[in-house]
Amino acid sequence: MDNQIHNQIVSFIWGIADDCLRDVYVRGKYRDVILPMTVIRRLDAVLEGTKEEVLKTKAMLDKAGIVSQADSLCKAAKQSFCNWSPFRLKDLTSRAKLQQLQADFTVYLDGFSPNAQEILTKFKFREQIQTMVDADILGLVIEKFVSPTINLSPFPVIDGSGKVKLPALDNHAMGTVFEELIRKFNEENNEEAGEHFTPRDVVELMADLVFVPVKGKILDSTYSIYDGASGTGGMLTVSEHRLQSLAQEAGKKVSVHLFGQEINPETYAITRADMLIKGDGAEAEHIAYGSTLGNDAFPTKQFDFMLSNPPYGKSWKNDAEKMGGKKGILDTRFVTQFSGDPEFAMIPRSSDGQLLFLLNNVAKMKETTELGSRIAEVHNGSSLFTGDAGQGESNARRYLIERDLVEAIIALPNNMFYNTGIGTFIWVLSNRKETRRKGKIQLIDATSLKSPLRKNLGQKNCEFTSEIRQQILDLYQDFAENEYSKIFANTDFGSYKVTVMRPAKDDKGNLLCDKKGKPVADKELTDTENIPLNYAGGIDAFMAAEVLPYAEGAWVDHTKTKIGYEISFTKYFYKPVQLREMADIIADIRALEKETDGLLDEVLG
How would residue 252 be classed by pLDDT, with cut points 50, 70 and 90? Answer: very high
SS3 for 110-146, per residue? HCECHHHHHHHHHHCCHHHHHHHHHCCCHHHHHHHHC
Say if residue 601's pLDDT is above 70.
no
Assess contact for 396 and 434: CB atoms under 8 A.
no
Supply the mean pLDDT for the chain: 90
- Tell me the C-alpha distance between 212 and 217, whole Å: 10
pLDDT of res. 194: 45
How would residue 510 be classed by pLDDT, with cut points 50, 70 and 90? Answer: confident
In the chain, what is the straight-line distance between the N-terminal and C-terminal CA atoms, in Å? Answer: 71
Q: 511 or 360, which is more confident? A: 360
CB neighbour list of residue 287: distance below 8 Å, 6 or more residues apart: 230, 233, 258, 259, 260, 261, 262, 268, 271, 272, 275
Assess contact for 494 and 401: CB atoms under 8 A.
yes
Q: Domains in the chain, start-ordered, CATH in brackets?
A: 3-157 (no CATH), 178-492 (3.40.50.150)
Q: Which tens digits make up the pLDDT trace of 298-307? A: 999 999 999 9
Q: Which tens digits make up the pLDDT trace of 449-505? A: 999 988 887 778 889 999 999 999 999 999 999 999 999 999 999 999 999 999 988
pLDDT of res. 193: 42
pLDDT of res. 170: 83
pLDDT of res. 275: 81
How would residue 602 be classed by pLDDT, with cut points 50, 70 and 90? Answer: low
- Measured in degrees and rounded to the nearest 5, phi and psi for residue 370 equal -65, -40
Q: Which tens digits make up the pLDDT trace of 27-62? A: 888 989 999 999 999 999 999 999 999 999 999 999
Q: Which tens digits make up the pLDDT trace of 327-353? A: 899 999 999 999 999 999 999 999 999
Assess contact for 450 and 468: CB atoms under 8 A.
yes
- Measured in degrees and rounded to the nearest 5, phi and psi for residue 226 equal -130, 140
**Mean pLDDT of all residues in 367-378:** 96
Assess contact for 94 and 142: CB atoms under 8 A.
no
- Tell me the C-alpha distance between 555 and 538, whole Å: 14
Say if residue 1's pLDDT is above 80.
no
How would residue 599 be classed by pLDDT, with cut points 50, 70 and 90? Answer: low
**Mean pLDDT of all residues in 588-596:** 77
**Mean pLDDT of all residues in 189-215:** 80
**Mean pLDDT of all residues in 69-78:** 93
pTM of the model: 0.85
Beta pairing class for 451-457 and 485-489: unpaired
